[in-house]
Amino acid sequence: MGNSTPIEELAATKDQEFDRMSELKAFDETKAGVKGLVDVGITKVPRIFHSPPDGFDRAPADDFAIPLIDIDAVEKNPGLRGSVVDRVRDASGKWGFFQVVNHGIPGCVLEETLEGVRRFYEQDAEAKKQWYTRDGLKTVVYNSSFNLYAAESADWRDTAYICMAPTPPNPEDLPLECRDIIIEYSKQVMKLGRFLFELLSEALNLNPNHLNDIGCADGLGLLCHYYPPCPEPELTLGASTLARLPDVLLQDHIGGLQVLYDNQWVDIPPVPGALVVNIGDLLQASETTVAQINRWMQENCFTSCTEITCCFV
């Protein structure tokens, strides 16, 4: 194709020329990620990203609402701890997800965390290539779709995974664009996680320290997702199953997170200062309607969005 770059050639590939494995390899070798496709002005989503319809409808906005729990009430009035534990138990058993507010992490830290991750992804493509890898042992694992070659469809997003605990990385091994704020945010989430595990222990009728004592809050990995604008968002609605242990999710003001509940996709609209808690397999064994799958829906094809999931591992 003349002087076209590999990423431009991939963007120009016609459906009748589709060779899945070749296109996956070509995309991976650009090390430019999904954002690289967008940067060259792609107008059609390549076939490797097409996700088959799941057959579930989107729930009307007013029909369901993910529980919103004020956990600062426990600090202000210890006598309310029992009622907060009840709310956590009910939300976990019914939904598997809830949002927390007044959790102790300053709003400025949340905003700068999102902004730092955004800076990393929106820097020059050549500068990012040093971080692109499929070696899971690296401090920072940045690529598009960790299971790119095995998945039914590639994810329309770029992801960087950073293991922050139990062994913290050397700061110099983290991207400068988000280094300091990622370290600070991780410390704050670890503290919040220990408190959430106390509430979850009590919700399971266990000693408050039980889940912390068995190491549930010892490990932390950050999944930093960046969803570039998508010209055909209806083709890229991939879903993911829940985690084994709880994770804490921070979404920007654009939003897009949905959970599958009672065979309908339910929106979790962003609430300023709130964090979404996915409780994983805990408290769900006997429930049949609990939300067990989530996905990210991009409704605005001109806007990128950022989401950070802290996974306790």
Query: What domains can you pick out in the chain, each with its CATH number?
Result: 6-312 (2.60.120.330)
pTM for the full predicted model: 0.90
Q: What is the pLDDT of residue 245?
A: 76
Q: What is the pLDDT of residue 293?
A: 61
- Which regions of the chain does DSSP assign to beta strands (E)? 57-58, 68-70, 97-101, 140-143, 158-165, 220-227, 239-241, 247-251, 257-261, 264-267, 275-278, 293-296, 305-312
Q: What is the pLDDT of residue 288?
A: 41
Q: What is the pLDDT of residue 297?
A: 65
Average pLDDT of each block of 10 consecutive residues along the chain (313 residues)? Answer: 64 68 97 96 94 75 86 90 96 92 98 98 96 96 95 94 97 98 98 97 96 96 95 79 78 87 87 93 52 59 87 91
Q: What is the pLDDT of residue 206?
A: 96
**Pairwise CA distance, residues 107 & 275, whole Å:** 11
